[in-house]
């Protein structure tokens, strides 16, 4: 395996880049290794001493409330953010010549080219990464597998939010990504789109890919996750399997076992004032 590391620089404010590349002979190595990672934006600490592992051949769901640090962590992993302290390492199952195309990132925001069609996006990826172009038959089969065949010749600007996310995933798969970092991929999808995307990530898992998915949807995490990571206020408060996770909560008529466990590991907010205390007339 081939790895690269976001190394700690000489000063806390120095930007970390993908510079330290090492060869790993262990084919069972983790795909992602994060060690004592902290991130500050000026004063506030967004991530605090986070240590975690994510493996190949698994869907790992990253859970947490808004502002927990999920997106910041993902942006660090793909090299879009610097770190303040600690390290993050992605171990790639390819040699150096293929390393640059082995990590695929699907952000929460849309990163498609509005004036290119779905089909043209695939051909752009092929050109960028020096891939042999799909034959027309291969292209049609690939688009059908991703549920994009009926939209192949539409401009990306004409696609729904859910289809744009599916297109970004298609581009990541076409480039040959073995480590997929998906930020809220189910957001904005209708039930049919959610089902298709869940099926796709399960297929990628079964092909041996590492799939790291952030989501606020506990029901989807319960359905697809092999491993769970929970961030709260920038700290890792749980790492383990769904079976281990549900043991932490006490189900009630109003909460599933998964919801109860999430409430148990999240930081309690008992000290916060209740909205009922404010009647809208206070000065």
What's the whole-number average pLDDT of the chain? Answer: 83
pLDDT of 249 strictly over 90: no
- Please check whether residue 62 lies inside any domain of the structure: yes
Determine the structural domain holding residue 161 and report its residue range: 2-267
Number of alpha carbons in the 13 Å side-chain half-sphere of residue 275: 0
Q: Please tell me the least confidently modeled range out of 17-26, 93-102, 200-209.
A: 17-26
Q: What's the pLDDT tens digit per position in 109-141?
A: 888 999 999 999 999 999 988 888 898 999 999
pLDDT of 281 strictly over 60: no
The predicted model gives 158-180 an average pLDDT of 91
- Please check whether residue 48 lies inside any domain of the structure: yes
Alpha-carbon span 283 to 279, nearest angstrom? 11
CATH number for the domain spanning 150: value is 3.40.50.300
- Please check whether residue 68 lies inside any domain of the structure: yes
Q: Please tell me the least confidently modeled range out of 2-11, 191-200, 210-219.
A: 2-11
Q: What's the 3-state SS for 48-114?
A: EEEEEEECCCEEEEEECCCCCCHHHHHHHHCCCCCCCEEEEEEEECCCHHHHHHCEEEECCCCCCCC
Higher local confidence (pLDDT), 78 or 23? 78
Q: Cα dist. 26→9, 29, 31 in Å?
A: 27, 5, 11
The predicted model gives 256-269 an average pLDDT of 82
- What pLDDT score does 279 carry? 61
- What pLDDT score does 276 carry? 59
- What pLDDT score does 2 carry? 33
Whole-number CA gyration radius for the chain: 20
* pTM across the whole model: 0.84
- Please check whether residue 272 lies inside any domain of the structure: no
The number of folded domains in the chain is: 1
- Please check whether residue 273 lies inside any domain of the structure: no
- Please check whether residue 65 lies inside any domain of the structure: yes
Whether 103 and 78 have beta carbons less than 8 Å apart is answered as yes
Q: What's the pLDDT tens digit per position in 203-234?
A: 999 999 999 999 988 999 999 999 999 999 99
Determine how β-strand 58-63 pairs with β-strand 210-214. parallel
- What pLDDT score does 28 carry? 54
pLDDT of 55 strictly over 80: yes
- Please check whether residue 283 lies inside any domain of the structure: no
pLDDT of 274 strictly over 70: no
């Amino acid at each position: 395996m081939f790895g690269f590391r976001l190394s700690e620089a000489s000063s806390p404010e120095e930007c970390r880049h993908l510079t330290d590349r090492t060869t790993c002979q262990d084919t069972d190595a983790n795909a992602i290794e994060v060690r004592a990672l902290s991130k500050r934006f000026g004063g506030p600490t967004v991530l605090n001493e986070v240590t975690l592992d994510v493996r190949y051949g698994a869907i790992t769901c990253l859970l947490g409330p808004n502002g927990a640090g999920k997106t910041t962590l993902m942006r660090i992993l793909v090299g879009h953010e610097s770190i303040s302290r600690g390290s993050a390492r992605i171990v790639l199952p390819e040699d150096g010549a293929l390393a640059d195309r082995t990590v695929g990132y699907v952000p929460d925001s849309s990163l498609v080219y509005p004036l290119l069609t779905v089909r043209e996006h695939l051909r752009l990826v092929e050109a960028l990464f020096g891939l042999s172009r799909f034959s027309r038959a291969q292209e049609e089969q690939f688009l059908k597998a991703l549920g994009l065949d009926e939209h192949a010749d539409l401009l990306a600007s004409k696609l729904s939010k859910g289809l744009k996310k599916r297109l970004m995933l298609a581009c990541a798969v076409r480039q040959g990504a073995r480590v997929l970092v998906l930020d809220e991929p189910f957001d904005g999808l209708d039930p049919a789109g959610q089902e298709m995307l869940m099926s796709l990530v399960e297929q990628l898992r079964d092909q041996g890919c590492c799939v790291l998915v952030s989501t606020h949807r506990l029901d989807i995490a319960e359905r697809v996750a092999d491993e769970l990571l929970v961030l709260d206020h920038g700290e890792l408060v749980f790492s383990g399997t769904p079976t281990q996770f549900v043991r932490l909560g006490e189900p009630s008529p109003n909460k599933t076992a998964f919801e109860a466990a999430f409430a148990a590991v999240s930081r309690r907010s008992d000290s916060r004032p209740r909205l009922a205390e404010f009647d809208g007339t206070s000065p």
